[in-house]
């Protein structure tokens, strides 16, 4: 990978402007295989391994690479004989369970598009998602079948396990259909469906945005996004020795992300391609995660910062003597920023590497660890291969040159990882990218003198107090340093004179510090760390827990409505 470059171009509009594009160079090339073909190739290579491909942490049951290969091929042939193929969409409404993976992988091999709805969605949210993608078949776990049928009666339904009511297919029936083909499919020679010469136009997955500013949008992800991405996230997922050399080890991944999250898709595919054992959960709580790490000797786990902070706090205060977490070597954090103090504290408390990564459903992988040297705490890492980046000054709209360091700008990215489009939403698709085809993340970041990038805040979430800009994330990172605070969200309470009054929503940690925490304690913490204009003049509001979106992020919109309703 080459050094960071700054390419200047002249735009065509009436007033030409200089465009500064950061680019670190090419990464691992696309091999020309569809995602389905790549999965089949990997499963065949690993089918003789004795370690399991996947383990259900709740049931304690395992599936070998050989079993996953056979079920994937039978499902693919079953999908074909059902009359579905390239251009058709099937929807998944399920938490992680054994049958969900071959059902989805088989659909990929058959050339289908898989739309992964959020299994915890409300009836109206699920109805919106399914109506948007118009699936030819809806695949549900048993507990979600009735909800799926009510939300979308206009298509056939399949249940992943157990008995099915009249008119509903089972996953076992799909595989039996595939097995009954003449000739029966051979797992060692079965070929993935041809998805077309231009795989950038084939949509492998549809995932749904968080919907923090409206109804969730269906994000259509290209087939090439997954195949290229898998070979270029090795820098994040593969352990290295003391000299920074990648180690060929048998990793055991804890998969707490469902397939409706882009992290769930990436981790599933990455685990298959690199022969990792994936230990998955259908539901998670802190104590269960501790138990799973201990029992299955997990070495890699991906978690959101708020989840991680609460997890460590509970572990240190109540469960240190009960569960052994020494097998854990790497924790990947993403979805929201993590302060340097929190990252360093977790790393020391658990004796692990805590690695921040930055990406988005629409933008793919953007920043991460790309060199032998560990990224400094608080950093998102460096620009990853294949990604072009513009930093755009949010006030002037001008590009920030690569030679200009430590200046905040909006991250705009262009890469093979970008979304194809939003489902049936050309207006939002057109607005997603700028005139040069760069996806507008809406995130403010800056690059330091060593080429590491740091998150500042979302453009839409910035506050102004007496015309001075305040980043809520900065205050939140300070709050999360307190051992008694489990979650924190800072919003601006509208004031007609000064603008925004920073207000903190806080949930207490389950420890002595949390029980003793007062509003004055929270305000004093901010007063000790930050400038006068960043103080919590709007007060502190304690909640038992902060509301979450369907993708597990803090539901800022819901908290804003709560704040507006207060006197």
Identify the domain containing residue 488 by its residue range: 462-565
Q: Are 82 and 165 in contact (CB under 8 A)?
A: no
Residue 15's pLDDT is what?
Answer: 43
Can you give the CATH number for the domain in which 154 is found? Answer: 3.40.50.980
Phi and psi dihedrals of 421, rounded to 5?
A: 180, 175
Same domain, 482 and 393: no
Same domain, 438 and 471: no
| CA gap 287, 293 in Å, rounded | 10
User: Virtual CA dihedral for 444, 448, 451, 453, nearest 10 degrees?
Assistant: -30
Average pLDDT rounded to a whole number, residues 112-128: 91
Q: Which is higher by pLDDT, 209 or 258?
A: 258
- pLDDT tens column, 425-480: 999 999 999 999 999 998 999 999 999 999 988 888 889 888 788 989 889 989 98
| CA gap 467, 29 in Å, rounded | 48
Highest-scoring range by mean pLDDT, 107-111, 327-331, 351-355: 107-111
Same domain, 538 and 394: no
Instruction: Please check the confidence at residue 557 and state whether its pLDDT lies above 80.
Output: yes
| Distant-in-sequence, close-in-space partners of 60: CB < 8 Å, separation ≥ 6 | none
Same domain, 93 and 187: yes
User: Which residues, in sequence order, are bridge partners of residue 7?
Assistant: 21
- pLDDT tens column, 490-499: 999 988 888 8
| CA gap 432, 267 in Å, rounded | 26
Note the pTM of the prediction, 2 decimals. Answer: 0.84
Is 183 contained in some domain?
Answer: yes
Q: Which is higher by pLDDT, 341 or 79?
A: 79
Average pLDDT rounded to a whole number, residues 65-84: 98
| 334-359 core/surface letters (b: 16 or more CB in 10 A; e: else) | bbbbbbeebbebbbeebebbbbbbbb
| CA gap 383, 357 in Å, rounded | 10
Average pLDDT rounded to a whole number, residues 366-377: 81
Q: Are 453 and 382 in contact (CB under 8 A)?
A: yes
Structure token digits, residue 505: 């929503």
Residue 371's pLDDT is what?
Answer: 65
Same domain, 396 and 466: no
Three-state DSSP class for 327?
coil
Is 341 contained in some domain?
Answer: no
Residue 504's pLDDT is what?
Answer: 97
Average pLDDT rounded to a whole number, residues 265-279: 92
Same domain, 440 and 491: no
Could you give the angle at the alpha carbon of 260 between the alpha carbons of 108 and 216, nearest 5°? 115
The residue among 426, 460, 494 that closes a domain is: 460
Is 374 contained in some domain?
Answer: no
- pLDDT tens column, 236-257: 555 555 544 444 457 899 998 8
């Amino acid at each position: 990978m080459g050094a960071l470059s700054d390419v200047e171009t002249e735009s065509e509009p009436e007033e030409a402007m200089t465009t500064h594009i950061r680019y670190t160079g090419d990464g691992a090339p696309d091999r020309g295989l569809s995602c389905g073909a790549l999965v089949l190739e990997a499963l065949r290579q690993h089918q003789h391994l004795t370690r399991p491909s996947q383990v259900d942490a709740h049931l304690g049951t395992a599936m070998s690479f050989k079993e996953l290969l056979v079920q994937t091929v039978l499902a693919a042939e079953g999908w074909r004989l059902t009359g579905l193929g390239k251009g058709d969409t099937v929807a998944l409404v399920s938490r992680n369970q054994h049958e969900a993976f071959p059902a989805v992988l088989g659909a990929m091999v058959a050339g289908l598009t898989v739309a992964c709805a959020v299994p915890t969605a409300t009836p109206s949210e699920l109805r919106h998602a399914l109506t948007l993608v118009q699936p030819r078949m809806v695949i549900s776990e048993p507990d979600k079948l009735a909800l799926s049928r009510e939300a979308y009666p206009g298509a056939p339904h399949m249940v992943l396990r157990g008995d099915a009511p009249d008119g509903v297919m089972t996953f076992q029936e799909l595989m039996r259909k595939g097995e009954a083909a003449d000739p029966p499919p051979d797992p060692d020679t079965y070929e993935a469906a041809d998805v077309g010469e231009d795989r950038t136009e084939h949509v492998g997955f549809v995932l749904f945005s968080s919907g923090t500013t409206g109804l969730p949008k269906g994000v259509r992800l290209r087939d090439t996004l997954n195949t290229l991405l898998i070979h270029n996230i090795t820098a994040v997922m593969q352990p290295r020795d003391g000299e920074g050399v990648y180690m060929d080890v048998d990793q055991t991944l804890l998969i707490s992300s469902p397939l409706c999250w882009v992290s769930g898709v990436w981790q599933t595919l990455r685990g298959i391609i690199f022969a990792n054992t994936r230990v998955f959960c259908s539901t998670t709580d802190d104590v269960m995660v501790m138990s799973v790490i201990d029992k299955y000797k997990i070495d890699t786990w991906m978690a959101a910062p708020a989840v991680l902070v609460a997890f460590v706090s509970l572990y240190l205060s109540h469960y240190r003597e009960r569960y052994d977490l020494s097998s854990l070597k790497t924790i990947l954090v993403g979805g929201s920023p993590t302060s340097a103090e929190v990252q360093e504290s977790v790393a020391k408390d658990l004796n692990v590497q805590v690695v921040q990564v930055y990406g988005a459903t629409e933008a793919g992988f953007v920043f991460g660890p790309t060199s032998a040297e560990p990224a400094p705490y608080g950093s998102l890492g460096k620009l990853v291969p294949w990604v072009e980046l513009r930093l755009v000054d949010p006030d002037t709209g001008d590009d920030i040159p690569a030679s200009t360091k430590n200046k905040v700008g909006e991250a705009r990215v262009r890469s093979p990882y970008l979304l194809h489009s939003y489902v049936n939403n050309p207006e939002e698709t057109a607005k997603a990218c700028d005139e040069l085809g760069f996806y507008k993340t809406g995130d403010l970041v800056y690059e330091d003198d060593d080429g590491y990038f740091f998150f500042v805040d979302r453009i839409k979430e910035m506050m102004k107090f007496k015309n001075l800009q305040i980043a809520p994330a900065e205050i939140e990172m300070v709050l999360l340093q307190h051992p008694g605070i489990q979650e924190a969200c800072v919003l601006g309470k509208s004031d007609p004179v000064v603008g925004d009054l920073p207000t903190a929503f806080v949930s207490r940690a389950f420890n002595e510090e949390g029980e003793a925490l007062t509003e004055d304690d929270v305000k004093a913490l901010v007063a000790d760390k930050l400038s006068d204009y960043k103080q919590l003049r709007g007060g502190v509001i304690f909640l038992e827990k902060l509301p979450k979106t369907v993708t597990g992020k803090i539901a800022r919109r819901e908290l804003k409505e709560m704040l507006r309703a207060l006197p």
